[in-house]
Amino acid sequence: MRIKNISLILILLTFLAKPVFANFDVSARTAIVQDYLSGKILFEKDADREIFPASMTKIMTSIIVFDLLKSGELSLDDKFLVSENAWRLSQAGYSSMFIMVGDEISVENLLRGIIVSSGNDACIALAEGIAGTEEEFAIMMTEKAREIGMENTNFTNSSGINAPDNLSTVRDILIMSNYLIKNYPNYYEYYKETEFTWNRTGGDPIKQGNRNPLLYKNIGVDGIKTGYLAYEKYSLASTIKRNERRIIAVGSGFVSKNSRSKESLKLLTYGLTNFDTINIAKKDEIFDELEVWQGTKKTVKSYISQDVYKTIPKAKKKYLKVSINYQGPLKAPILKNDILGKVNISYKDEQIGEYDLLAFEDVKRQNIISRLISSINFLIWGDV
């Protein structure tokens, strides 16, 4: 087995044991912070504690719609008829986009009414338009939650209000937020809109601002969703993007609006300032070249079939080792996508990652005369 050490300005430390949070804490009952690219959990506080997700529920409501838009079963221009059931929530003192009974409203306007204005009435209008009843739509939401790994979540309505069995955890809300950003980057643009104006029927246009306070700080925050219930107090799923790096934080049980804003920013800042995230490999891009025996080329280009990002505490890169293990030199012929060896990543002598190294190209075998010359050269000079 040949071992090729690679001391790039690389990184590591992904999913090692449990994260060490030093003396950091946050004024929330439960919270979690993740580096989006590597998936590394950077901080957690009672992250599996049961919560009422309140309006963070609406993230899943929008995901169901995005799924249908992606599959072509729905379009942004489709219109749904507003029922009296949906209209009532625009009259009950809850956040709403103020729809009227009998209105026909486009899917896009309802989405923006949910995402920007946090309209509970818009949630019901979409739920009924898609599934017939809000109860059936909630079943779709819970099924989707199971599909994407939200193991401790149950949805019973589309808005998150007044639903004692509408339950989740900040870890599950994090999973949902990560899924949203990864799978729907174009539709996710709605989440950074700071205002939404709707030309409602029978009245002047209504202009409402986004309820996410961090969007207005001009620091790179582009989502995601606030929440409030009297029992749960204030909650927020938030995310910040700096250059190529993104941090996601979810917290619940903030005691006030001001605390929600301040402590959520503290969570995001902690992730940005205490850790570095570095790209070890880009999906399907050349990673390295390995020696070939009796091939028409002396080396073969190799790649890893996925993006490999790792997150480590700042100033800890010296503890990282990246090596390629393979039986070399590799004997031709070699076909594209053949497994050539393994890329091993260790941190403080503990293996923390292993990836297949694949052939980026075909390498044909030399003709018999060239092979003979290669064999003679090897016997005399030890040169492959």
pLDDT band at 92 (very low <50, low <70, confident <90, very high): low
CB proximity list for 119: less than 8 A, separation 6 or greater: 90, 95, 96, 97, 98, 99, 110, 113
Q: Which residue has the tokens 């980026």?
A: 360
pLDDT for residue 90? 79
Residue range 168-226, pLDDT digits in tens: 999 999 999 999 999 999 999 999 999 999 887 777 888 999 999 999 999 999 999 99
pLDDT for residue 14? 35
Angle at 60 between CA 216 and CA 168, to 5 degrees: 95
Residue range 276-324, pLDDT digits in tens: 888 899 999 999 999 998 889 999 999 999 999 988 888 787 787 888 9
Spot the catalytic one: 38, 55, 90, 238: 55
- Whether residue 3 has pLDDT greater than 90: no
Is residue 297 among the annotated active site residues? no
Higher pLDDT pick, 16 / 127? 127
- Whether residue 274 has pLDDT greater than 70: yes
Higher pLDDT pick, 11 / 67? 67
pLDDT for residue 234? 96
Over residues 59-72, the mean pLDDT reads 98
Higher pLDDT pick, 348 / 242? 242
Is residue 259 among the annotated active site residues? no
- Whether residue 151 has pLDDT greater than 70: yes
Residue range 10-23, pLDDT digits in tens: 333 333 334 445 67
CB proximity list for 10: less than 8 A, separation 6 or greater: 278, 280, 310, 317, 320, 322
pLDDT for residue 109? 96
Residue range 158-175, pLDDT digits in tens: 999 988 999 999 999 999
Over residues 146-152, the mean pLDDT reads 97
pLDDT for residue 203? 76
- Whether residue 9 has pLDDT greater than 60: no
Domains of the chain: 2-13+280-381 (2.60.410.10), 30-254 (3.40.710.10)
Is residue 118 among the annotated active site residues? yes
Over residues 63-92, the mean pLDDT reads 93
Q: How far apart (Å, rounded) are the C-alpha atoms in residues 39 and 37?
A: 6
pLDDT band at 8 (very low <50, low <70, confident <90, very high): very low
Spot the catalytic one: 38, 118, 168, 302: 118
- Whether residue 138 has pLDDT greater than 50: yes
pLDDT for residue 279? 87
- Whether residue 24 has pLDDT greater than 90: no
Spot the catalytic one: 40, 45, 58, 144: 58
**Percent of the chain predicted with pLDDT > 90:** 69
CB proximity list for 80: less than 8 A, separation 6 or greater: 104, 105, 107, 110, 125, 126, 128, 129
pLDDT for residue 201? 73
Residue 134: which of 119, 156, 109 has the closest Cα?
156
pLDDT for residue 5? 61
pLDDT for residue 15? 35
pLDDT averaged over the chain? 89
Copy the structure tokens of residue 342: 């393994």
356-361-367-368 Cα dihedral, nearest 10 degrees: 0
